[in-house]
């Protein structure tokens, strides 16, 4: 693969399943981060209001390296790996099929 590592293609289906499971778990984290951003502390005093605003900033503010943006970036990286691995597997299987057809054709020509 082009990302600088190699995998055993026989293990690729399990790796793909694991990546999809990880992506599903990250989706749950995104939902929980969104819930956290909507949370507010009880009370209308300035301390409660400030605490609520700080939690929202830490959760959502892209400039502060927020939790939501970090999790979203992680999800995007996993999705990219899934796409790359699926493409690699498709190309591999297509090449294997082409080689099998070509090999069979060559065998017929030799007989």
Q: For residue range 33-84, what is the model confidence (pLDDT) as tens digits?
A: 888 888 777 778 888 888 888 888 888 777 767 888 899 999 999 999 999 9
At residue 2, the pLDDT reads 53
Q: Give Cβ neighbours of residue 16 (< 8 Å, ≥ 6 apart).
A: 82, 85, 86, 89
At residue 1, the pLDDT reads 44
- Predicted TM-score (pTM) of the model is 0.69
Give burial (CB, 10 Å; 0-12/13-18/19+) of 52.
Answer: middle
Measure the CA–CA gap between 58 and 21, rounded to whole angstroms: 26
Q: Which of 74, 80, 39 lies closest to 56 in space, CA to CA?
A: 39
At residue 77, the pLDDT reads 96
Q: Is the pLDDT of residue 3 over 60?
A: no
Q: Is the pLDDT of residue 6 over 80?
A: no
Q: Which helix (H) or strand (E) holds 92?
A: helix 67-110
Least-confidence region, from 7-11, 65-69, 79-83, 99-103: 99-103
């Amino acid at each position: 693969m082009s990302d600088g590592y190699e995998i055993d293609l026989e293990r690729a289906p399990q790796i793909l399943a694991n990546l999809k499971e990880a992506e599903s778990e990250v989706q749950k984290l995104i939902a929980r981060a969104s819930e956290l951003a909507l949370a507010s502390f009880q009370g209308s005093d300035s301390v409660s209001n400030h605490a609520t605003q700080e939690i929202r900033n830490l959760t959502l503010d892209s400039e502060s390296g927020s939790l939501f943006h970090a999790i979203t970036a992680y999800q995007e990286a996993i999705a990219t790996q899934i796409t790359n691995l699926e493409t690699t597997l498709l190309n591999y299987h297509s090449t294997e099929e082409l080689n099998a057809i070509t090999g069979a054709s060559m065998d017929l020509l030799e007989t």
